[in-house]
Amino acid sequence: MSEAALALDIRDLRAGYDSYDVLHGMSLHVANGERIGLFGPNGHGKTTLLNAISKVIRPNGGSVSFMGEPIAAVSARGIVERGLIHVPQANRLFPDMEIMETLELAAFTRRARAERKTNLDYVLKLFPRLAERRRQQCKTLSGGERQMLSIGVGLMCAPRMLMLDEPTLGLSPKLKEELAAAIAGIGTRGMPMLIVEQDIAFVLSLVDRMYFVDHGEIAREIHRGSDVDHQEIMDMYFGERAAS
């Protein structure tokens, strides 16, 4: 596979908080147009990985390239300008801002501003509920609406690749399905995606490949349609407990 065929290529990434590392040399890649799932127990570094890529935190080592270009030393703003967009876990967004204001603001970089109108139309079509509530403040949104707005904000940034951190956290099965359909819709446009998700059934339906994150490392790579079945994944999850 040539370099440029990879949307995201991460090698030996180390990152953490204060003085301790959470990621101990993580390597993974996302090909162009590929949708990747990332799952693993709570607190094992999935969010930390996304934070280190988007520069919410500064990585302590390793290399990251996006569309063939090294970005480990690029600022948070530079990452967004290049179109690598991180939709964070449980984002409470901007509490006092209205939905429309938030979406318009999200087209902040020059490139995103140029695509603002198209992207706004797309977001409002994808999530009609946001269009119905355009003057409502973020802080009064329901959990589901907030997730939709959060993804909508990501789309307004003119993404070339999306990283979604637990987009269905705490949502009802019905809402989950709705969001899954929306995310699948985004994927059909050929957008590479990295989706962190605890709900394995949910993520399996969305992705081409999955990584299992364990103690800050990639412990396993699972190809869609490979012989790994549901039970085996469950064992991975609860492996420690099952063994004891």
Partner 1 sequence: MTLDALSTVLVSGIVLASVYALIASGLSLVWTTLGIFNFAHGALMTLAAYLAWTVSDAAGLGLWLGAGIAIAVAGVVAAGVLIERLIVRPFYDHRDILLITVMTTLAAMIFIEKGSQLIWGARLKQLRPVVPGQVNFLGTTISAQEALIIALAPLLLGLLFLFLRNSRIGRGIRAVGQNPNAAKLIGIDVSRLFIITFALSAALAGLTGILLGSVRMVTPAFGAEPLVKALIIVIFGGLGSLGGTIVAAYLLGLLEAFLIFFIGIYWAPSMIFVLLILILLVRPQGLLGKVVR
Q: Rounded to the nearest whole angstrom, what is the least distance from the CB of residue 197 to Mg ion in the complex?
A: 10
Nearest to 116 by CA among 152, 161, 75, 78: 152
Binding mask 2-21 for ligand ATP (x = CB under 6 A): ---------------x----
Q: Report in angstroms how near the CB of residue 108 gets to ligand ATP at its nearest.
A: 24
Q: Which two tokens stand for residue 194?
A: 């990295």
Closest CB to Mg ion: residue number: 47
Residue with tokens 């605890």: 198
Query: What is the distance between the alpha carbons of residues 98 and 108, in angstroms, rounded to a whole number?
Result: 16
Torsion (CA) 114, 9, 39, 34 in degrees, nearest 10: 60
Among 13, 30, 34, 44, binds ligand ATP (CB under 6 A): 44
Residue with Cβ nearer partner 1 (13 or 87): 87
Q: Which 66-105 residues touch Mg ion, going by CB under 5 A?
A: 89
Q: Does 168 bind Mg ion (CB under 5 A)?
A: no
Residues 31 to 50: which contact Mg ion by CB under 5 A?
46-47
Shortest spacing between CB 45 and Mg ion, in angstroms: 8
Residue closer to partner 1 by CB (options 136, 205) is 136
The dihedral sign for the CA sequence 176, 34, 63, 73: negative
**CA pair distance 126, 44, nearest whole angstrom:** 32
Determine if 218 is a binding residue for ligand ATP (CB under 6 A): no
Q: Are strands 35-39 and 209-214 parallel, antiparallel or unpaired?
A: parallel
Query: What is the SS3 string spanning 36-105?
Result: EEEECCCCCCHHHHHHHHHCCCCCCEEEEEECCEECCCCCHHHHHHHCEEEECCCCCCCCCCEHHHHHHH
Among ligand ATP, partner 1, Mg ion, none, partner that 153 touches (CB below 5 to 8 angstroms by kind):
partner 1
**Alpha carbons 177 and 182: distance in angstroms, whole number:** 9
Question: Based on the number of CB atoms within 10 Å of its own CB, is 19 exposed (0-12), middle (13-18) or buried (19 or more)?
Answer: exposed
- Does residue number 119 form part of the binding site for Mg ion (CB under 5 A)? no
Size of the site for ligand ATP (CB under 6 A): 10
Among 6, 22, 157, 164, binds ligand ATP (CB under 6 A): 22
Nearer to ligand ATP, 15 or 126 (CB): 15
Assess 238 for contact with ligand ATP (CB under 6 A). Answer: no
CB of 211 to Mg ion, least distance (A): 14
Binding site for ligand ATP (CB under 6 A): 17, 22, 42-48, 89
